[in-house]
Amino acid sequence: MEKTPKWVDVALIPVLNLLIAFVISGIVVLLIGEDPIKAIKVMVSGALGSPYGWGYTLYYATNFIFTGLAVAVAYHASQFNIGGEGQATLGGLGVALVLLAFPWPHWSIALIAAMIGGALFGAAWAAVPAYLQAKRGSHIVITTIMFNFIGASLLNYMLVNVLRPRGAMDPATARFAKETYLPTFHDLPLIGQFFSKSVPANVSFFIALLACWLVWILIWRTKLGFEIRAFGRSETAARYAGISPVKVIMVAMLISGGLAGLMAINNVMGQGHRLVLNSVEGAGFIGIAVALMGRNHPVGVFLAAILFGFLYQGGGELALETTIPRELITVIQALVILFTGAFDNMLRAPIEHFFVARANAQKEA
């Protein structure tokens, strides 16, 4: 297996899988009697053709970077965190509580506090499944799924019964104070002139980039990352080396949940300016696809997040400009997960076979 060049694994196979997913999506578009070429045009121009489009694409990408990193960090410890959705939901609650609790004088201070709140709440929501996995061997996939639902109910309760302002009808918190609004791309020096006031992309994007870098450092440069990776590759060997499984699972999942929770600084603090139901919009699940495509590496996660940001924004435009429902994006997303994740061996096996045969042939020669 080590005879297959690295670029095949990190580039060729994902790209081919992506292509297959897109081709099948195109066929689906044809099936519902629409024009796939036109669909692509609308998506590309809507998501990438203007600063407005980019503003939204990068906004969505920011969400996906956080959830993608969350999945990736857990994955390195061989934990499949499917609970990003719930953790990001709770992160939103944390951010909202922090922002509503005090009259923050400036966004920068509020941001730091909100980051702590979001990360803590997200981490807390990952803590129970992590603990049960570490200590009692409860399958983390199932418990995190369950926690997604429990989290949704909890948020529902909080919004309806606790946080909804008097007299308001929709289950949402009050608006945050204007002082806590994060600067959007429009407000930033240098690039501000390109973006209109309405684009939601905000300084959280840079925090997401920072998170990528920090995750990279963590995983590949620190002792903790070494232990996480070692445990993820071989649990028995990690135990031999005196690495505590409980510690690794807990720490990795807390970081993972914290990253998912951090997403809330973008969608809740940066864009919504209040907490609404379902503010996560499936970003937790998209994080799985992003991490899969990005091969659990921050650079890959970043690129895949941009791709999904493009799909998301482009899909929104599709619904507006054509009669293709926005659900097409859900289908594309499903196909990307299917082909880059579950069907990965479909191409991998023959491709690796090819390289092994070539290696063997070279050996003979």
Interface with other proteins in residues 157-196 (CB under 8 A): 157, 160-161, 167-172, 175, 196
Decide whether 33 or 103 has the Cβ nearer to other proteins: 33
Separation of CA 321 from chain center: 27
Positions 88 through 127 that interact with other proteins (CB under 8 A): none
- Region binding other proteins by CB under 8 A among candidate stretches 95-103, 110-118, 130-138, 203-211: 130-138
Tally Cβ neighbours within 10 Å of residue 338: 16
Is 350 a residue that touches other proteins (CB under 8 A)? no
Neighbours of 350 (CB within 10 A): 9
By beta-carbon proximity to other proteins, the closer residue of 211 and 324 is: 324
d(CA 113, CA 128): 23
Binds other proteins by CB under 8 A, chosen from 23, 27, 32, 299: 32
In the structure encoding, which two tokens stand for residue 172, read together?
């949402």
* # residues near other proteins by CB under 8 A: 105
d(CA 118, CA 204): 13
Gap between the Cα atoms of 35 and 208, Å rounded: 36
| Closer residue to other proteins, CB minimum distance, 161 or 193 | 161
Per CB under 8 A, the list member of 52, 303, 322, 351 interacting with other proteins is: 52
Beta bridge partners, 356, equal none
Within 280-299, which residues bind other proteins (CB under 8 A)? 280-281, 285, 288, 292
132 binds other proteins (CB under 8 A): yes
Binding residues for other proteins restricted to 204-243, rule: CB under 8 A: 217, 221-223, 226-227, 229-230, 233-234, 236-237, 239-243
Query: Of 68, 117, 258, 316, which lies in the binding site for other proteins, with binding defined by CB under 8 A?
Result: 316
Which residues have C-beta within 8 Å of that of residue 96, sequence separation ≥ 6? 163, 173, 176, 264, 268, 274, 275
Q: How far is CA 205 from CA 55, 128, 282, 339, in A?
A: 11, 29, 18, 28
Give the whole-angstrom CA distance, residue 343 versus residue 329.
19
Q: Which of 153, 206, 213, 299 binds other proteins (CB under 8 A)?
A: 153
Smallest distance, other proteins to C-beta of residue 165, A: 10
Stretch that binds other proteins, among 182-190, 258-266, 303-311, 340-348 (CB under 8 A): 340-348
- 63-92 residues near other proteins, rule: CB under 8 A: 80, 82
Residue whose structure tokens are 């998501």? 47
Stretch that binds other proteins, among 26-34, 117-125, 254-262, 297-305 (CB under 8 A): 26-34
Quote the least distance from Cβ 200 to other proteins, whole Å: 7
Q: Which is nearer to other proteins, 208 or 328 (CB)?
A: 328
d(CA 162, CA 262): 23
Q: Which of 18, 42, 211, 329 binds other proteins (CB under 8 A)?
A: 329
Tokens of 345: 């061996």
Cβ proximity to other proteins, 108 vs 153, nearer residue: 153
Nearer to other proteins, 37 or 349 (CB): 349
Task: Name the nearest CA neighbour of 68 among 268, 337, 293, 346.
Answer: 293
Which residue from 12, 141, 177, 188 is in contact with other proteins, where contact means CB under 8 A?
141
CB 19 within 8 A of CB 26: no
CB of residue 356 vs other proteins: minimum separation in angstroms? 5
Give 29's Cβ-side CA count (13 Å radius): 24
Rounded least distance, CB 338 to other proteins, Å: 4
Nearest to 21, CA basis, from 354, 344, 350: 344
Q: What is the CA radius of gyration of the chain?
A: 21
Distance CA 173, CA 106 (A): 20
Matching residue, tokens 């969400």: 63
What is the separation of C-alpha 42 from the centre of its chain, rounded to a whole number of angstroms?
A: 24
> Minimum distance from CB of 152 to other proteins (Å)?
8
> Which member of 5, 101, 149, 206 binds other proteins (CB under 8 A)?
149
